[in-house]
Structure 1
């Protein structure tokens, strides 16, 4: 039986580590840090955002977690996220995947998911 992306990413534990690493990279990425650094003063809000991100990712990768957050359009509406910001986020995700030693297949599958979400994030 084929393993799901969820399995290949290390299930809940692996995806949680990946999200933590991605957020750390966002905090120091000059293209997107202005959107993330303010959450350093809101640790409960940052924790909730990470929780929703982990569950969104788990559910989308074939895991058993139920995502109970807002949809992508509602979440990003009014943020006017640029193409450059979106690409910077993708770069951070790939860097975190490299750090966590994920293979090319996992990266390809994650990139496919990210590209499928692009229309619900940019310039809303």
Structure 2
């Protein structure tokens, strides 16, 4: 059985997924305002890329802040968190990621919920 990293398309596939995730966020009325005001979108994409790679079993290391520190003071609501998860799942489906792998990603994201919502 291949790793989640490999099933997501390894580095190239994950980079394409992250690009679409951010594009989805920018179009999503629930969270777009948060992403339109990001000063360094390429840096955000790189951190998301590293995070997805590391979290899915890839060889990349994540150089960003821990989730609690990264979202501290943002007062993210459950609705926003779910909207972000929906955007991620939509990007995964767009790239042909199978349902089992999508469910693994959702489980990982759900496990981080307490580190992001209202911290």
TM-score by length of 1: 0.93
Alignment of 1:71 with 2:66, yes or no, is yes
CA positional deviation for 1:15: 0.5
Map 1:103-118; keep pairs closer than 5 Å.
103-118=98-113
Give the structure 1 partner of residue 42 of structure 2.
47
CA positional deviation for 1:81: 0.1
What is the alpha-carbon distance in structure 1 between the residues aligned to residue 34 and residue 86 of structure 2? 16
Give the structure 2 partner of residue 37 of structure 1.
36
What is the alpha-carbon distance in structure 1 between the residues aligned to residue 10 and residue 64 of structure 2? 19
- DSSP-derived class of the 2:89 partner: helix
What is the alpha-carbon distance in structure 2 between the residues aligned to residue 73 and residue 30 of structure 1? 24
Give the structure 2 partner of residue 13 of structure 1.
12
Give the structure 1 partner of residue 114 of structure 2.
119
CA positional deviation for 1:28: 0.7
Residue 92 of structure 2 is aligned with which of 89, 97, 100?
Answer: 97
Question: Aligned residue pairs: how many?
Answer: 119
Uncovered stretches (5+) of structure 1, i.e. residues with no partner: none
TM-score by length of 2: 0.97
Uncovered stretches (5+) of structure 2, i.e. residues with no partner: none
What is the alpha-carbon distance in structure 2 between the residues aligned to residue 83 and residue 16 of structure 1? 26
Give the structure 2 partner of residue 28 of structure 1.
27
